Each structure stands twice: as C-alpha cells, then as structure tokens.
C-alpha cells in the first residue's frame, strides 16, 4: 500500500474531473477535529456527466460495489449512499462511500458554492465540504457524531482570528455544544448572542450563566435532531429492504 492511499483516491477523482466534496472523518481531520477513519466519504454532483466521470475514476481504482444499492442518479438523489471497496494495490481494502443528498443539508450546487479548499501533499488541492455544512451533515442519530460536532466547533473557535467575522461568531453561537464555551461566547459577543437566543434556548441560558440549564437545553436539542434523523432514514431503510428482497427473488 502506498504511504497515502487516501491521497491516491482523491488524486484519481481530481484527474477524472469528478465534481466531489470530501466530507466525513477525513474532512474532520482537515478541520482540526481529528477522527481516525479508513473510509473516504464524498458528496458528488448527481448529474449524468459527472457520474460518468465518477464511474471511470472508480474503475481505475478497481472499485467493487458493496452493500446496496448500485451507483445510480436515482438512488443518490433519493438520499441513499453507494458503497465501494477498492482493489487497486495502492489502495487495497479502502472503502469509499458516496452520497449526493444529506439530511438537513442544502442541495449539492449550494454545497459546492460554499466549498473550501485544502492543499494536500502530492495532490495540489481538494474540495472539502465547508465547516458549517460538515457540522450540519454530522447531526445524525449516531452516538459518535455528536462529540465530533462539538470538537469541530471548538477547534474553529480556538483558531479564531483576532477580529472574527460576524458570520463566524453566529456559527459558533448556533452550533457550539459546550456549556462553558456558550457562556464565554455570550460574554464576548452579547449582541449577537441575544439575537441567537431568540431561536436557541441553550444560548438564552448561557447569557444568564446557568450551566446546568445550558446542558439540559443542549441534550433536548440533540434528542430532537437525533429523532429527526431516524425519521428521515426510516423510509430509506424500508426502500433498501424492499430492493434487496426483490433482488433475491430475481436471483433464486
């Protein structure tokens, strides 16, 4: 295996001009909230020409589909993920998960306009899901995603410039999941915090310095978002089950 199998995959996508955005654990690493991952998660433009370029890139990596459904524009636009295991020697065993529509996120063209660029060794640059969009994509029912949301926001705050933009301050107040950080933000940026508090109870309590109530509000907020993600995936899982059942019938 080469020293950088992930770099090899991203370089191959770039060579084939695939319009794709890096997301998931690898994007979290680039934003300073380290998460070990042997997979690559990408969002792609689900248009015929781009999917054709994507298929050529996957073919050159000797990608084999795993799980279900097969790669198609219809499956991607319905919100499904398409999964591949790579067999090319330099990237042997690496998994690539491909999506186009993510729960709670804007359509791909808007995500693409807001993308950021990361320079990686031997690749020039790679397009990455913007930090606010990555945080939104991480608001799932999975236990492991919520600590990552917290670390992503904290890492961005600790790297803050001397005079952060209002949009960045609004992002911290909207997404921070640490009671002490929310209290600190309320003290530093009271005007913006008061506006955010109108729609976020955790900020309202943070302005009063009530840490226990902030924590309770954050838990309630997380519960609502986890439930919404479960509701979003329920029909998709049912659809996958129906597809698999029909596939078994055709092969028996």
Per-residue pLDDT, 3: 45
Query: Each residue of 54-82: pLDDT tens digit?
Result: 999 999 999 999 987 889 999 999 999 99
Asked whether 39 and 24 are in contact (CB, 8 A), the reply is yes
Look-up of token digits 């659809």: 239
Whether the per-residue pLDDT at 1 is higher than 50: the answer is no
- Which of these ranges, 26-40, 86-100, 188-202, has the smallest mean pLDDT? 26-40
- Retrieve residue 95's tokens: 């998994």
d(CA 54, CA 57): 5
Domains of the chain as residue ranges with CATH: 5-135 (3.30.460.40), 145-230 (no CATH)
Q: How many helices (H) and strands (E) does the chain have?
A: 12, 7
| pTM recorded for the entire structure | 0.92
Residues 6+ apart with CB under 8 A from 31: 131, 134, 152, 155, 156
**Other Cβ atoms closer than 10 A to 97:** 17
Distance of alpha carbon 91 from alpha carbon 2, whole angstroms: 7
**Per-residue model confidence as pLDDT tens digits over 173-206:** 999 999 999 999 999 999 999 999 999 999 999 9
């Amino acid at each position: 295996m080469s020293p950088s199998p992930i770099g090899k995959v991203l370089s191959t996508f770039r060579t084939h001009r695939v319009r794709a955005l890096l997301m998931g654990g690898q994007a979290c690493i680039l934003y300073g909230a380290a998460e070990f991952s042997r997979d690559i998660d990408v969002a792609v433009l689900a248009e015929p020409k781009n999917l054709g370029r994507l298929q050529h890139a996957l073919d050159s990596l000797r990608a084999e589909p795993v799980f279900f459904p097969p790669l198609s524009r219809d499956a991607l636009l319905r919100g499904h993920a398409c999964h591949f295991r790579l067999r090319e020697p330099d990237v042997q065993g690496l998994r690539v998960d491909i999506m186009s529509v993510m729960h709670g996120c804007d359509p791909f063209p808007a995500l693409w306009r807001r993308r950021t660029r990361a320079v990686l060794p031997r690749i020039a640059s790679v397009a990455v899901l913007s930090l606010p969009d990555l945080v939104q994509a991480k608001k799932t029912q999975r236990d492991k995603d919520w600590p990552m949301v917290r670390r992503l926001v904290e890492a961005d705050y600790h790297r803050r410039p001397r005079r952060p933009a209002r949009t960045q301050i609004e992002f911290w107040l909207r997404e921070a999941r640490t009671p002490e950080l929310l209290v600190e933000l309320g003290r530093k940026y009271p005007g913006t915090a008061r506006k955010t508090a109108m729609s976020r109870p955790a900020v309202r309590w943070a302005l009063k310095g009530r840490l226990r109530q902030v924590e309770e509000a954050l838990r309630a907020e997380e519960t609502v978002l986890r439930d919404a993600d479960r509701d979003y995936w329920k029909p998709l899982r049912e659809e996958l089950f129906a597809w698999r059942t029909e596939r078994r019938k055709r092969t028996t």
